C-alpha cells in the first residue's frame, strides 16, 4: 500500500495557524510534479493544486470550522482532491476549465450558432459558489443540491429545470472540448428532469385566447407581434423561428403560402433539416412586409430580447397566469391539430418532434372524443339482444 505524503507544517490546523500569513502559498510535493498549496490568510486558509505551471484553488482549509469534504477540507482530503484534479490534466499543461469558464464558452458557442445567449446568462446568474468549481471534479450530489437550492430560493420546478438544462448543455460542451473531463454522469444523473416539472408549461389555450395574445403582441411592436404570430401559427420553437431567412418565405401562390422552417438542433444528430409549413395569407403578408428590401440570405425575424418577459403583461391583461408563456402557443398548436384529427405522425413532423413524444405528452387529445365515439358504438345494448334459446356456445381463449 502506497504511503500518504505527510507535511508536518500543513497536515493539522494547529501547525498551519503558526505559519505567517502571506500571498505566496506554502507547498508540499504530494506526487511527481504535483504540489498541494496552502495559502495562509488572516481568516481561514485555502487549498490549491499546483501542476505544470498552473495553480488552481479548490477549497477552504479547516482552520476555523470542521471539514465537510467539499467546500472545507482537511489536509488529507485536500491531498486526494489535488491529485485527482491534477491527474485530470496529465499530459496537458492547460489548466482544467472551471464551471464559470464553461458557461462563458457555452455563451460564445450559442452566439456562433445563432442561439439565445440568455440560456447562458440565466445559468450564470444562479451559479453561486459553483462558479469556481472545476468541471472535471463536479459530483452528482453537489449538482443535485445546487438545483434544489434554486427551488429553495423561490424558483418553480419548471424554471429550475429549464436553467439546469442549459447548465447541462454548457457542461456537455466543455466535455466535448476537453477529453480529460470524464464525469458526464454527474450532470446526467444529478440534473435529471424533476417529476412534473413540465406541468406548468403544458398550458393549452383556446383559439380565442391565442388570437387575443397575438393581437396584444402587435400592440407592443410590429417586430414582436410578427414573431409571436409565427410561433402561434406554426407551433415552432423560438430558436427555429429565429433561423428563418427571407428566402424561406414562399408566397408566390398568395392562396397557399408556406414557411420553410429549419429543424431544431435537438437530439443526437443535430443535423439541420427544413420542412415547409403552411401559413395563412394574412401572416404571409405581415412577413412579406418585413422581407421587403432584405437580401434572400438575411434574417426574416429579428431576435427580441426577453421575449417571454414582454409576453407576461399581455397575458396578465387577459387575466392569464404567469404559467402562460410563448411556449404555450406550441402546445396549443399541437393540440389544435390533434383535435382536428390530423394524423399523429403528421403533427409530429410539423412540430419537429417524434410520435413517441406526442403520444407521451398529448395522448388524451389523440384519443379524446374519438375514443368515446368508437367505444360508445360498441356498447352492449340489452334491449336489442335476443332472448337466449337452446344451449349457449361458450368460447375459451387459447392458452
**pLDDT tens, residue by residue, 128-153:** 888 888 888 888 999 999 999 999 99
Please answer whether residues 315 and 220 qualify as being in contact, where contact means their C-beta atoms are separated by less than 8 angstroms.
Answer: no
Kindly state the average pLDDT of the residues 154-169.
88
Structure confidence at residue 91 (pLDDT):
47
State the sign of the Cα–Cα–Cα–Cα dihedral 346, 350, 352, 357: negative
Alpha helices in the chain (DSSP H): 13-16, 75-87, 99-112, 118-124, 140-152, 157-177, 184-190, 207-220, 222-234, 238-241, 281-291, 307-317, 327-339, 344-350, 355-377
User: Residue 174: which of 261, 104, 88, 92 has the closest Cα?
Assistant: 104
* Average pLDDT across the chain, whole number: 85
**Residues 151 and 280 both lie in one domain:** no
| pLDDT for residue 304 is more than 90 | no
Residue 387 belongs to a domain: no
CA distance 170 to 131: 12
Residue 29 belongs to a domain: yes
Where residue 321 falls among pLDDT bands split at 50, 70, 90? confident
The one-character DSSP state at 375 is H
**Residues 174 and 321 both lie in one domain:** no
In which region does residue 6 sit, left (phi positive, over 0), alpha (psi from -120 to 50) or beta (all else)? beta
| pLDDT for residue 269 is more than 70 | no
The CATH number that applies at residue 319 is 1.10.443.10
For cell 397566469, the residue is: 321
- How would you class 372 by CB atoms within 10 Å of its CB: exposed for 0-12, middle for 13-18, buried for 19 or more? exposed
**Residues 260 and 356 both lie in one domain:** yes
**pLDDT: is 189 or 92 the higher one?**
189
How many CA atoms, within 13 angstroms, populate the side-chain half-sphere of residue 178? Answer: 27
Residue 213 makes CB contacts below 8 A (sequence gap 6+) with 205, 228, 232, 311, 314, 315, 318, 329
Residue 8 belongs to a domain: no
Against a cut of 0.85, is the pTM above it? Answer: no
Helices 140-152 and 157-177 pack at an angle, to 10 degrees, of 150
Please answer whether residues 166 and 120 qualify as being in contact, where contact means their C-beta atoms are separated by less than 8 angstroms.
Answer: yes
**Residues 110 and 224 both lie in one domain:** no
Task: For residue 38, report the phi and psi dihedrals to the nearest 5 degrees.
Answer: -125, 125
Kindly state the average pLDDT of the residues 285-309.
90
**Residues 135 and 280 both lie in one domain:** no
Residue 63 belongs to a domain: yes
Structure confidence at residue 369 (pLDDT):
55
User: Residue 36: which of 64, 63, 2, 7 has the closest Cα?
Assistant: 7
**pLDDT: is 216 or 305 the higher one?**
216
Residue 305 makes CB contacts below 8 A (sequence gap 6+) with 118
In which region does residue 4 sit, left (phi positive, over 0), alpha (psi from -120 to 50) or beta (all else)? beta
Where residue 364 falls among pLDDT bands split at 50, 70, 90? confident
**Residues 323 and 355 both lie in one domain:** yes
**Residues 179 and 34 both lie in one domain:** no
| pLDDT for residue 332 is more than 50 | yes
Residue 202 belongs to a domain: no
What are the tens digits of pLDDT across the range 62-73?
Answer: 999 999 888 899
The CATH number that applies at residue 105 is 1.10.150
What are the tens digits of pLDDT across the range 246-258?
Answer: 999 999 998 999 9
For cell 500518504, the residue is: 4
Residue 245, number of CB atoms within 10 A of its CB: 17
**Residues 183 and 249 both lie in one domain:** no
User: Residue 362: which of 153, 142, 198 has the closest Cα?
Assistant: 198
Q: How far is CA 68 from CA 65, 74, 107, 322, 361, in A?
A: 9, 9, 32, 39, 42
**Residues 174 and 213 both lie in one domain:** no
Where residue 300 falls among pLDDT bands split at 50, 70, 90? very high
| pLDDT for residue 299 is more than 70 | yes
Number of domains in the chain: 3
**pLDDT: is 43 or 366 the higher one?**
43
Residue 308 makes CB contacts below 8 A (sequence gap 6+) with 325, 326
Residue 333 belongs to a domain: yes
What are the tens digits of pLDDT across the range 17-34?
Answer: 999 999 899 999 988 888
| pLDDT for residue 335 is more than 50 | yes
**Residues 143 and 76 both lie in one domain:** no
**Residues 358 and 323 both lie in one domain:** yes
Residue 253 belongs to a domain: yes
Please answer whether residues 88 and 96 qualify as being in contact, where contact means their C-beta atoms are separated by less than 8 angstroms.
Answer: yes
| pLDDT for residue 399 is more than 60 | no
| pLDDT for residue 270 is more than 60 | no
Structural domain boundaries, residue 113: 99-190
Please answer whether residues 131 and 147 qualify as being in contact, where contact means their C-beta atoms are separated by less than 8 angstroms.
Answer: no
**Residues 228 and 352 both lie in one domain:** yes
Amino acid at each position: 500500500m502506497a504511503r500518504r505524503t505527510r507535511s508536518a507544517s500543513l497536515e493539522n490546523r494547529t501547525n498551519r495557524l503558526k505559519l505567517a500569513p502571506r500571498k505566496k502559498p506554502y507547498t508540499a510535493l504530494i506526487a511527481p510534479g504535483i504540489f498541494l498549496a496552502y495559502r495562509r490568510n488572516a481568516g481561514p486558509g485555502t487549498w490549491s493544486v499546483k501542476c505544470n505551471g498552473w495553480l488552481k484553488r479548490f477549497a477552504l482549509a479547516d482552520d476555523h470550522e470542521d471539514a465537510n469534504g467539499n467546500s472545507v477540507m482537511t489536509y488529507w482530503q485536500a491531498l486526494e482532491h489535488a491529485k485527482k484534479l491534477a491527474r485530470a490534466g496529465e499530459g496537458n499543461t492547460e489548466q482544467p476549465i472551471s464551471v464559470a469558464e464553461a458557461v462563458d464558452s457555452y455563451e460564445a458557442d450559442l452566439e456562433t450558432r445563432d442561439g439565445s445567449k440568455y440560456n447562458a446568462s440565466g445559468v450564470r446568474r444562479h451559479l453561486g459558489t459553483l462558479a469556481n468549481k472545476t468541471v472535471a471534479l463536479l459530483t452528482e450530489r453537489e449538482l443535485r443540491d445546487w438545483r434544489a437550492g434554486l427551488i429553495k430560493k423561490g424558483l418553480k420546478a419548471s424554471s429550475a429545470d429549464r436553467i439546469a438544462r442549459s447548465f447541462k448543455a454548457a457542461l456537455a460542451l466543455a466535455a466535448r472540448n476537453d477529453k480529460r473531463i470524464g464525469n458526464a454522469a454527474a450532470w446526467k444523473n444529478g440534473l435529471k428532469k424533476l417529476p412534473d416539472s413540465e406541468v406548468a408549461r403544458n398550458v393549452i389555450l383556446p383559439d380565442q385566447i391565442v388570437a387575443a395574445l397575438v393581437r396584444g403582441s402587435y400592440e407592443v411592436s410590429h417586430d414582436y407581434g410578427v414573431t409571436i404570430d409565427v410561433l402561434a401559427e406554426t407551433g415552432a420553437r423560438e430558436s427555429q423561428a429565429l433561423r428563418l431567412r427571407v428566402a424561406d418565405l414562399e408566397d408566390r401562390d398568395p392562396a397557399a403560402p408556406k414557411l420553410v422552417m429549419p429543424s431544431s438542433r435537438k437530439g443526437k444528430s443535430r443535423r439541420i433539416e427544413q420542412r415547409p409549413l403552411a401559413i395563412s395569407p394574412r401572416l404571409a403578408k405581415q412577413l412579406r412586409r418585413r422581407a421587403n428590401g432584405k437580401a434572400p440570405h438575411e434574417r426574416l425575424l429579428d431576435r427580441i430580447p426577453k421575449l417571454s418577459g414582454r409576453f407576461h403583461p399581455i397575458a396578465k391583461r387577459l387575466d392569464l397566469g404567469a404559467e402562460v408563456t410563448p411556449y404555450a402557443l406550441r402546445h396549443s398548436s399541437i393540440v389544435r391539430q390533434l383535435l382536428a384529427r390530423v394524423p399523429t405522425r403528421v403533427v409530429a413532423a410539423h412540430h419537429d418532434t417524434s410520435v413517441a413524444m406526442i403520444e407521451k405528452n398529448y395522448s388524451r387529445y389523440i384519443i379524446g372524443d374519438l375514443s368515446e365515439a368508437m367505444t360508445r358504438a360498441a356498447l352492449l345494448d340489452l334491449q336489442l339482444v335476443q332472448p337466449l334459446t337452446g344451449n349457449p356456445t361458450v368460447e375459451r381463449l387459447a392458452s
